[in-house]
Structure 1
Amino acid sequence: TEQIIQFFHGLFHSLPKPILKKTVSRPASRATDEEIQGTKDALIQDLEKKLRNKAPQQRNIQKMSYEERMARRLLGADNAASVFDLENALISQPAQVLSRKNRPGGDSAEASTIQEKCFAPRFIQVPQDLTVEEGRFCRIDFKVVGLPTPDIFWYLDGQLIRPDDYHKMLVCEKSVHSFIIEVVTIHHAGVYECVAKNRAGESHFSLRLDVIAQEQLCPPTFVVKMRNSRVLEGDAVRLECKVAASPTPQLYWKKDKEMLRIDPMRMSLSQDDSGKQCLVIDPVIKSDAGWYTVSAINEAGMSTCNSRLDVARLNKSTPPVRTLRSLPILSQFSTLSTEPVPHHTAPLYESEEL
């Protein structure tokens, strides 16, 4: 109020005299300066009295209308409007700032506004259960969205997994995340749980990882060895052995320290139902005789097995067998009779060892 009164004091004192002549109702006779001054003082006193006697709210409302009305009368409509627009702007600006700062529930309203911009994590792409061989590389990809960007946690059978030399957690483009196991071991098998968290909530998914253990390395061992054999030329022979190893070994057949040349017309290599490795020769010829060697080789080592094959030949040119002829006994009481003496021959066998 005091400011407004001072404002009008300055306003009235600054008004030019010709304006007061037109606005104040006077008789046709020329007014003196004393009369004009007295009229202004009375007007100011009357305005001050009315403003101070009004209630705060009503005074503000009536003050504006009364002041505006007086300003229009003294300054004109255009000048009065510009003055009051400027004053209202200056008065209302701090009030608006104050109302923004001190409005009831301001903090909660701001919190609710922030809350509206957040949403809980949601997995839009998850992997299936996996089976990985021991010693291999494993990568699990998934896609999650949320605002703000959620934090990712991995658990194996309920135990938190931390990034280290064996476990890595990567964030790729377009909300795609990756969980990497550099070298899978049997200890990595189990149930994995992935949890995504932010201040709006959390979400999770689970998968099972099965690990196939590597075979234990075992060098070859012959559990059934080949036996030495002796056959007749033209017959059939079967050389057989059985080897145990892990992983399965490669087998190499040799004859007399050289790689065995398989004659498909007479020879065959096979494995029977019991796991024995077999070399079948049918028919056997003289040149098949010799030393046979089987070598078994895998990553863990090598082992060999040997056997001797002898081939006997039937000798058709056997020397004649001498027979003793009995001389006839002449007797006066018998006739001469000669009975042949039977003779027997047996086949002879030859061998390179003989």
Structure 2
Amino acid sequence: EAICSVYIQPEGVPVPAHPASQQQSYRHVSETVEHKSYGTQGYTSEQSRQTQKIAYTNGTDYSSTDDFKVDTFEYRLLREVSFRESITKRYVGESDIYINTEIDKSLGPVSPPKIAQKPRNSKLQEGTDAQFQVQLSGNPRPRVTWFKNGQRIVNSNKHEIVTTHNQTTLRIKNTQKSDSSHYTLLAENPNGCIVTSAYLVVESPQETYVQDHKSQYILDSQQTGIEERVEISEKALAPQFVRVCQDRDVTEGKMTRFDCRVTGRPYPEVTWFINERQIRDDYNHKILVNESGNHALMITNVDLRDSGVVTCIARNKSGETSFQCRLNVIEKEQVVAPKFVERFSTLSVREGEPVALNARAVGTPTPRITWQKDGVPIIPNPELRINTDGGASTLDIPRAKASDAAWYQCTAQNVAGSTATRARLYVEVPKEPPPEQKRLHLPRPTKIIEPEPAPGPEIIYLRHVERARPYIPPGEE
């Protein structure tokens, strides 16, 4: 919506000068429509379309934009254990570092956390205090964690968290426009966890909200100083679905999600039903909504009781509309690991004889049969045939050869597991008779070689040698 000013120039009158500094300013005051849903609420406001830098009490800076998906954040808190443990990690000195495991008999039987009263969306002016109250139960007593747009909040001068016997309260002091965010509560004990969220809108004092879905535009003229008030009434629009879900088949135990989008003014309230039974947030059903009119029903673990007609109804004061789709839950088939009821054993055959190795396995679903030879998968060929019928299989070798001697293994496999049976095949090759030994024909000798005569005695001649006299120096004689 916009306001356009037109100046009509009378004939013969000079055009008045309009300095660049003389510009008209407009103040647009409109009502923010509250978006409600079960457990997750949202507002459409100018603050949600601005990127702000928010300083959290725990010292962490976080850039908050309208891209923050509170439904995705809640889903990760519930389903991703490692993510939940990392984001809820306490600092040294905090009193609730560990989840309480002590069972309190005064709280009744052991049970996971449950939320009796969820926080409400709030719309306040700057400078006031905001407060979110949640009533919860559980045994052992749940540990409570508050988040602002996905960032953990700790006690500080800005935020005060008070938890009593069955109630927790988050108080935000002296709210500013930067406090406009999604606030999420996580309650957890050893038996489970649960989350819930609310949205806070903080308006500046200059912004005024008009009831009955009316918007008032004030035109300030700097040239004349005259204010013209133009009141425009918004036309109420009945709800209308622009995207709906289709019928689907889902296996028991799987996750499924129904998405739709609805328009209308004022913003319609959406309710989900399965077989005319209204669906509310619980451990298995999650109702999701964001600010653009997208709604979803997520079933994390589909049960046979969820099979039937899913109905979505959108209502506002202008009317209501609905659509239906069918959810067919396929019963989960019981699976049984394969088991051999017929095996083959080690076999010895002669070369050229036929060989048949038979095996049969049972299981649910019917197992798939494969064969291996010395650990290598067998590819059927005319000399090695494989016949399989259900869980029964036969390996045929029409004429065994020496190269067929090996370890043979039959494997049965299905989604529940696998098993195998193996044995060795020996192929006897007939021995050939030894060849006849051939005699050597040597020619007769033509010359007789006589042995050499024995050598005669050796004569040694000795010569007389006079023995030398010892040397005596002169003077010693």
* TM-score calculated relative to the size of structure 2: 0.37
Q: If each structure's strand is expressed as a fraction of its own residues, which one has the higher value?
A: 2
* TM-score calculated relative to the size of structure 1: 0.48
Q: If each structure's helix is expressed as a fraction of its own residues, which one has the higher value?
A: 1
Q: Which has the larger radius of gyration?
A: 1
